[in-house]
Amino acid sequence: MGNTATVRVSEDQSLDDVALQWLGSAEAAFALAEKNGLSVTDELSPGQELFLPDVIDADIAAYYSGKAIVPALFASTFAESIAPDTIVVTVVSADMPQGKYVKASDGQTLFDIAVQRLGSAEAAYALAEKNSLSVTDELYPGQVLYLTDTADKSVASFYDKRGLVPSTWASDSVIDELLKEGIDYWAIQVDFIVS
């Protein structure tokens, strides 16, 4: 039946934190959620036992274990200091050095920005922490995000040199334009009727 190892959740940990700590990849949160019958956005309880899927990157998991690092993105002290329905606005000074922050484009997620500007999807977690966000928070166009250190300069450079701006959540206008692209996008009973 595969790996039957289990772990106990530490205080303020998300599935992403557990996946990074024990499986060596935040992206393993999806497999972790599936193995435990959870959604990746479900809140975990301290002491909750989780079954672990296969380790993705043993070196990263060993690093966390060897240094006794327990990532916990949702620090309770921050959560308690913000009232429900509060909008957090970040103001950027005009004299702020270039390259230290980025403005989100339409449809971008923290993962998009992390890959584009920091060179790694896993950098989204540090980016979220630096900006007091959850990795699942929706961004609005023009939202200012402070950047963390670049994880992989070659990947970030690739995106920068080509002017690539990944956008996971395409706007309705982009989707409408794609649907006009020909027979590959036609739908039965919508664009043509089968009789």
What local confidence, expressed as pLDDT, does residue 7 receive? 93
Which residues, in sequence order, are bridge partners of residue 144?
A: 103
pLDDT at 81: 42
Helix, strand, or coil here: 103?
strand
Cβ contact 186:155 at 8 Å? no
Torsion angle of alpha carbons 117, 145, 23, 80, nearest 10°? 180
Summarised one tens digit per residue, pLDDT across range 115-140 is 999 988 889 998 988 888 888 888 88
Instruction: Indicate whether 62 pLDDT > 50.
Output: yes
DSSP string, 4-61: --EEEPPTT--HHHHHHHHHS-GGGHHHHHHHTT--TTPPP-TT-EEE----S-HHHH
pLDDT of residue 110: 92
Structure tokens at 181: 């692209």
Q: Are 116 and 151 in contact (CB under 8 A)?
A: no
Q: Give the mean pLDDT of 63-89.
A: 56
What is the Cα gyration radius of the chain? Answer: 20
Handedness of CA 167, 168, 172, 174 (dihedral sign): positive
- Phi (first) and psi of residue 7, to 5 degrees: -140, 160
Average pLDDT, the chain: 76
How much is the pTM?
0.42
The SS3 assignment for 166 reads coil
Q: Which residue has the higher pLDDT, 80 or 41?
A: 41
Residue 1 pLDDT exceeds 80: no
d(CA 138, CA 136): 6
Q: Burial code of 27-43, b = ≥16 C-beta within 10 A, e = fewer?
A: bbbebbbebbebeeeee
% helix / strand / coil in the chain, to the nearest 5? 35, 5, 55
